[in-house]
Amino acid sequence: MFPMSYLTAKFGLLGLSNTISLEGAKYNIYCNTVVPTAYSRMTENLLPPDVQGAVGPETVAPLVLWLSHETCEETGGVYEATAGLYSK
């Protein structure tokens, strides 16, 4: 599994994202957190070979594009992106 320092850093980013979404609201600044599941060198030993091809970074990009579009007013959300499936 992942070392505790890695998990602590990830939760620090989540806290920063929440703070930005709250403090930025009065300036129309939106901030969300994306939790991707994608094949990388770090996950190659965790994901079975048949799954590795289905979870490339190209399956996460549509969510990031939607959240960064000028018409998207979502803020403070935590989104998971896995194999082209997205959840909040």
Per DSSP, the residues of 5-43 read HHHHHHHHHHHHHHHHHHHHGGGT----EEEEE---TTT
CA nearest neighbour of 58 among 23, 21, 84, 35:
84
Q: Is the distance from CB of 81 to CB of 36 less than 8 angstroms? A: yes
Residue 6 a catalytic site member: yes
Q: Which of 6, 27, 30, 86 is catalytic?
A: 6
Q: Which amino acid, residue 81?
A: A
- Give me the active site residues, please: 6
